[in-house]
Amino acid sequence: MQINFSDTAPAKARLIAYLANKDDLPARLERPIVDGAAAARFKGNAGQFFESFVERDGQVVRVALAGMGDANATADKRAEGLEKAGAALAAKYLTSGETDLVLDFAGSGVDAADAAAVLLGLRLRGWRHDEYRTRMKDEQKRTLATVTVISAPDGAAQAWADAAAVAEGVEFTRELVAEPANKIYPLSFVERCEERFAGTGAELMVLDEAAMEKLGMGALLGVGQGSEQPSRLLAIKWLGGNAGDPPVAFVGKGVTFDTGGISLKPGAGMWDMKWDMGGAGAVAGAMLALAKRKARANIIGVVGLVENMPDGKAQRPGDIVTSMSGQTIEVLNTDAEGRLVLCDALTWTQREFSPSLIVDLATLTGAMIISLGHEHGGMFANDDDLADDLLEAGKGVGDKLWRMPLGAAYDKLIDSPISDMKNIGPREAGSITAAQFLKRFIENGTPWAHLDIAGMVWADKPGRTWDKGATGYGVRLLDRFVRNALKG
Ligand code: BES
Ligand code: MN
Ligand code: ZN
């Protein structure tokens, strides 16, 4: 979707949208709109929508109102309202037959940042992945192509340029998540990153299986060993901060398909496991956003990319692997593979980059969805400040988190009688024992947070700024965290 700023409405504009705060209808508009909106009980609630046709200069014009909610709401709630107003317009007109929308900010009272939030909602809600739909009816096809913004507040174009970088990141993540596993596998994930990051100033570093073997990444390699697709470890470096400042590291689980391996998953619903690379997707998208907006911070994104398949070469339940850290792991369930991928990615990240803090993101456990549903990602952290920063960032952008506990009693549950640990605990507290497993790979008390986003990367119904499907969860969270906590 093309978003342009203009001083005047294009001649012959057929579709014009206005914004309204709660209980504050734009009285200067024509009576069919003002009275019609009142009759339709349009109150300007967040995401509320009204449209009417009026005659202007002998032409019939389609006029839309989108509600921004309470102008005096808290900053987080206000941002949500602004995004929902934009999203409502995208949802309504995306396939409406209309190709051009004029968005008139006159009389809306919003500032530049608010305007950018509206546009962000519009753009994100307008994203679709139609590539494989070759027989769509005309009514199903996207028509809306251009949004012309008029009477924008001062500085809105600049604020939008910044927000558009974030939108690009979210869209990249959604693309990676939505693509099926015959299109996105470790090598093609790397290739898409190479394409997207070309010219951004970010630097990519790729480890192949031989390199990982040499480093002793027996845990990660064990997961990939049943697949025809070779595994990869990808690092994306964005050094926009002071030279020599230790970087912050984001680490993602990139299981491009998770069959469960020899501990095979049931067939029903297994297709969902194409998005078991949602953590890696979020890291890649966040890095793209940060690079595109030239964040003033040093950030490293690391993703462990593997496909978990059953095969004659696949690892067996009971196998013992040695991780890069030297710790040995009894693989009692080959379906608890994410932690095996992450543990080596975490060790390598720490040895290679000495990060000041680490945030990992992973679709790690089904138990997380049982705990929190699709409303919050689960957060486990060894550092209260980091946890608070992430919670706050998540609230601000709508990528919500809920903190979960860690503790020695949980840790004990993954002790193994034959090796340093086993890769599963009992059925109870499955998300917590998974987090405890990862914690065993955090060195020197480095501040670390683990985000189990199993319930968040894919949606069965539309939300704040997404349709059903890939949400792009995590990108805006990490971007906001960098802005707030790192001033980057
Ligand atoms: N990728 C899955 C977790 C998952 C399940 C994410 C459903 C999203 C939706 C993970 O690799 C897995 O299989 N975890 C197991 C762990 C168990 C074997 C200890 C699980 O959650 O069942
Ligand atoms: Mn699994
Ligand atoms: Zn998995």
- Residues ≥6 apart with Cβ < 8 Å to 184: 176, 192, 256, 274, 277
Whether 435 shows a pLDDT value over 90: the answer reads yes
CA distances from 422 to 165, 195, 227, 344 (A): 42, 39, 22, 15
For residues 293-320, give the mean pLDDT.
98
Residues 159, 86: Cα–Cα separation, whole Å:
15
The model's pLDDT over 57-82, given as tens digits with 9 standing for 90+, comes to: 999 999 999 999 999 999 999 999 99
Contact status, residue 46 vs residue 85, Cβ threshold 8 Å: yes
Residues 173, 188: Cα–Cα separation, whole Å:
14
The bridge status of strand 458-459 relative to strand 377-381 is unpaired
Pocket perturbation via mutation, ligand 1, pick of 315, 365, 413 by most ligand atoms within 8 A of CB:
365
- Residues ≥6 apart with Cβ < 8 Å to 293: 162, 165, 166, 479
- CA–centroid distance for 270 within its chain: 22
For residues 27-36, give the mean pLDDT.
95
Alpha helices in 40-155, H assignment, sequence order: 75-93, 112-125
Report the chain's terminal Cα–Cα distance, integer Å. 27
From the list 43, 62, 265, 403, the catalytic residue is: 265
CA of 258 from ligand 1 middle (Å) equals 9
Around ion ligand 3, residues with a beta carbon closer than 5 Å are 255, 258, 276, 338
Question: Which of 425 and 27 is assigned the larger pLDDT?
Answer: 425
Instruction: Supply the pLDDT for residue 81.
Output: 98
Q: Which atom of ligand 1 is nearest to the CA of 430?
A: 19
Q: Which helix (H) or strand (E) holds 146?
A: strand 146-150
CA of 405 from ligand 1 middle (Å) equals 19
CB of 363 closer than 6 angstroms to any ligand 1 atom: yes
Instruction: Supply the pLDDT for residue 26.
Output: 84
Whether 433 shows a pLDDT value over 90: the answer reads yes
For residues 367-387, give the mean pLDDT.
98
The region, left, alpha or beta by phi > 0 then psi within -120 to 50, assigned to residue 315 is beta
- Residues ≥6 apart with Cβ < 8 Å to 328: 320, 321, 322, 419, 420, 421
Residues 417, 394: Cα–Cα separation, whole Å:
40
The model's pLDDT over 142-161, given as tens digits with 9 standing for 90+, comes to: 999 999 999 999 999 999 99
Among residues 64, 165, 161, 171, the alpha carbon closest in space to that of 116 is found at: 161
Report the side by side order of strands in the sheet with 357-362: 203-207, 232-239, 298-308, 248-258, 357-362, 448-452, 377-381, 401-403
From the list 174, 232, 339, 483, the catalytic residue is: 339
Q: Which helix (H) or strand (E) holds 391?
A: helix 384-397
Q: Name the band, by pLDDT with cuts 50, 70 and 90, for residue 40.
A: very high
Question: Which of 284 and 27 is assigned the larger pLDDT?
Answer: 284
Residues 335, 309: Cα–Cα separation, whole Å:
10
pLDDT > 90 fraction of the chain, expressed in percent and rounded: 99
> Per the confidence metrics, is the pTM higher than 0.85?
yes
Closest residue to atom 22 of ligand 1, CA basis: 366
CB of 179 closer than 6 angstroms to any ligand 1 atom: no
> What letter does residue 1 receive in the DSSP assignment?
-
pLDDT > 70 fraction of the chain, expressed in percent and rounded: 100
Mean per-residue pLDDT over the chain, rounded: 98
- CA–centroid distance for 299 within its chain: 17
Residue 487 among the catalytic residues: no
The model's pLDDT over 224-258, given as tens digits with 9 standing for 90+, comes to: 999 999 999 999 999 999 999 999 999 999 999 99
Residues 90, 66: Cα–Cα separation, whole Å:
11
Ordered structural domains, the chain, with CATH:
2-154 (3.40.220.10), 167-485 (3.40.630.10)
Residue 339 among the catalytic residues: yes
CB of 454 closer than 6 angstroms to any ligand 1 atom: yes
